[in-house]
């Protein structure tokens, strides 16, 4: 109890020096003589004095605080990114504060609160291009973008997902299984990652000599409910798909539920592949084939980039891209036998709609 009330002046009296000298020793001042430094350090050790880290930071003009702004904090992808970032920040002696900014106005308000006051030394922004929020970012302030494509004039470090490559691999997997009518349920069309995944889908089809049908591409909103409705519509087509690529796992879950509602067996009559590999993906029924993106590693790398930008402001700001990995489970299989699968789907739909 007594030790918690010790001050720098108590150490100074014990060591027989001024409190300014004790402060210089604590802060590593090279001008302190070795003899004086040894005397002060001995007094600190004997008394068990613990310097106030916050006070030291403020005195040095440092807070060792970083901020991460995301559209929301409940999304699994964003949460895992933040977890990885927090782990790296702790390793480097920084504290990460996180806040949600679902709208541009909220984002601008947070920037105006955090940056001018110098409460933070650096900033991470997840999905920076979903609206015009980048116009609110300060110039020459350590910043890292996570997701999206850095635009001209934004000299910031960035780490992006290889969304194009992930989608290409997902569709290629379906093509290898013999599927030709492959549908895609996209995220919001205004987002960079959605467009990259669309590009990957088309690239895989073109490489296999397959023509993309506009009717087989339906926009969702990342939710299971949007994909559920999209799948119901897709399976009403005269020539329904035999496989569906959902641009995230939650939408894949919606597609699986729609297949069950229609009486379709997965993967016997319809294959479904997602993207993310969220923790519950292996517990879907059937377990979901998906593209794994290591969000924790992305957050960790983003934090490392930000610490570097804070500590070495003149260093080059790298642009990194994180690859995805195909995880094959039980929701994808070979294309149904010609005639049998389509006939069953039509009969099932007819039976379902007649109830």
Instruction: Find the mean pLDDT for residues 93-120.
Output: 87
Residue 166 has pLDDT above 50, yes or no: yes
- Under the banding of pLDDT at 50, 70 and 90, the label for residue 52 is low
Quote the percentage of the chain above a pLDDT of 90.
58
Residue-wise pLDDT for 208-220, tens only, equals: 999 999 999 999 9
Give me the pLDDT at residue 132, please: 75
Q: Band the pLDDT of 48: cuts 50, 70, 90.
A: confident
Of 317 and 149, more confident: 317
CB atoms < 10 A from the CB of 263, how many? 14
Per the listing, tokens 């292996």 go with 282
Quickly state the pLDDT bin for 28 (edges 50, 70, 90).
Answer: low
* Mean pLDDT for the chain overall: 87
* The predicted structure's pLDDT at residue 81: 95
Weakest mean pLDDT among 46-55, 83-92, 102-111: 46-55
The residue among 351 and 98 whose pLDDT is bigger is 98
pLDDT for the residue numbered 348: 32
Which pLDDT belongs to residue 222? 94
Domains and CATH numbers, the chain: 3-51 (1.10.260.40), 65-162+296-324 (3.40.50.2300), 164-292+327-354 (3.40.50.2300)
Strand 289-292 and strand 325-327: pairing?
antiparallel
Q: Kindly state the tokens that stand for 315.
A: 């260093």
Q: What is the mean pLDDT of residues 117-136?
A: 81
Contact present, 78 and 276 (Cβ < 8 Å)? no
DSSP string, 218-248: EE--SSHHHHHHHHHHHTTSSS--SEEEESS
87 pLDDT band, cuts 50/70/90, is very high
On the question of pLDDT at 130 being above 80, the answer is: no
User: Which residues have CB under 8 Å from 338's CB, separation 6+?
Assistant: none
Percent of residues, the chain, with pLDDT higher than 70: 87
pLDDT of residue 23: 80
For 237-272, the pLDDT digits (tens) are: 999 999 999 999 999 999 999 999 999 999 999 999
Q: Can you read off the two tokens belonging to residue 70?
A: 């995301």
102 — pLDDT class (breaks 50, 70, 90): confident
* pLDDT tens figures, 58-81: 556 678 899 999 988 988 889 999
More confident residue, 60 or 222: 222
pLDDT number for residue 352 = 32
Does the pLDDT at position 83 exceed 50?
yes
pLDDT for 27:
67
Sheet holding 122-126, edge to edge: 95-100, 65-70, 122-126, 143-146, 157-161, 319-322
Contact indicator for 260, 224 with CB cutoff of 8 Å: no
**What's the whole-number mean pLDDT along residues 118-144?**
83
pLDDT of res. 57: 60
Cα gap 339→210, rounded to integer Å: 20
């Amino acid at each position: 109890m007594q030790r918690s009330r010790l001050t720098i002046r108590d150490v100074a009296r014990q060591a027989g020096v001024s409190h300014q000298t004790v402060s210089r020793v604590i802060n590593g001042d090279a001008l302190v003589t070795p003899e004086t430094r040894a005397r002060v350090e001995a007094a600190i050790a004997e008394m068990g004095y613990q310097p106030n880290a916050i006070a030291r930071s403020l005195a040095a003009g440092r807070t060792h605080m970083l901020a991460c702004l995301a559209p929301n904090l409940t999304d699994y992808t964003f949460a895992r990114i933040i977890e990885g970032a927090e782990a790296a920040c702790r390793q480097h002696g920084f504290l990460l504060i996180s806040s949600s900014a679902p709208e541009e106005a909220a984002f601008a308000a947070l920037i105006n609160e955090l940056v001018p006051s110098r409460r933070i030394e650096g900033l991470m922004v997840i999905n920076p291009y979903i609206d015009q929020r980048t116009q609110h970012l300060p110039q020459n302030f350590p910043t890292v973008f996570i997701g999206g494509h850095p635009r001209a004039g934004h000299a910031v470090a960035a780490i992006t997902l290889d969304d194009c490559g992930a989608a290409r691999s997902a569709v290629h997997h379906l093509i290898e299984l013999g599927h030709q009518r492959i549908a895609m349920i996209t995220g919001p069309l205004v987002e960079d990652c959605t467009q990259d995944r669309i590009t990957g889908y088309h690239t895989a089809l073109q490489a296999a000599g397959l023509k993309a049908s506009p009717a087989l591409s339906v926009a969702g909103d990342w939710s299971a409910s949007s994909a559920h409705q999209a799948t119901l519509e897709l399976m009403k087509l005269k020539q329904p798909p035999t496989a569906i690529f959902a641009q995230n796992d939650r939408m894949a879950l919606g597609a699986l539920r729609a297949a069950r509602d229609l009486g379709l067996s997965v993967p016997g009559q319809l294959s479904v592949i997602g993207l993310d590999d969220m923790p519950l993906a292996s517990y879907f029924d059937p377990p979901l084939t998906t593209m794994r993106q290591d969000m924790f590693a992305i957050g960790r790398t983003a934090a490392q980039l930000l610490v570097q930008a804070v500590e070495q402001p003149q260093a080059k700001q790298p642009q990194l891209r994180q690859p995805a990995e195909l995880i094959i489970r039980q929701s994808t299989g070979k294309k149904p036998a010609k005639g049998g699968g389509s006939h069953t789907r039509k009969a099932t739909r007819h039976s379902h709609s007649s109830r």
